[in-house]
Amino acid sequence: MKADAVRGHLDGLLLAVLEPGPLHGYAIITAVQRRSGGALELRTGTIYPALNRLERLGLLSSSWESAAGERRRRAYELTDAGRATLAGERAAWSEFTAAIGAVLNPGPQTAGGTQPGLAT
């Protein structure tokens, strides 16, 4: 999938994969890839600046964690503001996909050549 397709939606993707709970950077990349069926492969150079920006905006919080035998890593999680922003991102995405879908896949036309419910 083209990188341009993700641009503008990266924040929503990151917030969505963090909704279930805290994850570190590599786990975020893996979650996006898994959820997209492999279609989306984010790079560390893309997500870390975005995660830092989302944290500065108060949408994420982070803490250092270490597992037995592993180096320390930063785990990110949603704040209440992040959950509210995610809800807004989902609503905006629904509106966007409905509008694009109406253009790319128009429904049945009425006798006057217009779609039901649309004024000409």
pLDDT tens digit sequence for 2-32: 566 677 899 999 999 999 999 999 999 999 9
* Of residues 83, 78, 62, 88, the one with CA closest to residue 9: 88
- Reported in sequence order, the residue ranges of the chain that DSSP labels E, i.e. its strands, are 23-24, 60-65, 73-78
> What does the radius of gyration of the chain's CA atoms come to, in whole angstroms?
19
Average confidence (pLDDT) over 107-118: 61
Question: What's the CA gap between 44 and 95, in Å, rounded?
Answer: 30
Q: Cα–Cα distances in Å, from 116 out to 74, 106, 119?
A: 52, 11, 8
Looking at per-residue pLDDT, the higher value among 120 and 63 belongs to: 63
Average confidence (pLDDT) over 57-75: 88
pLDDT attached to residue 111: 58
pLDDT attached to residue 71: 82
Question: What's the CA gap between 3 and 27, in Å, rounded?
Answer: 20
**pLDDT range class, residue 114, cuts 50, 70, 90:** low
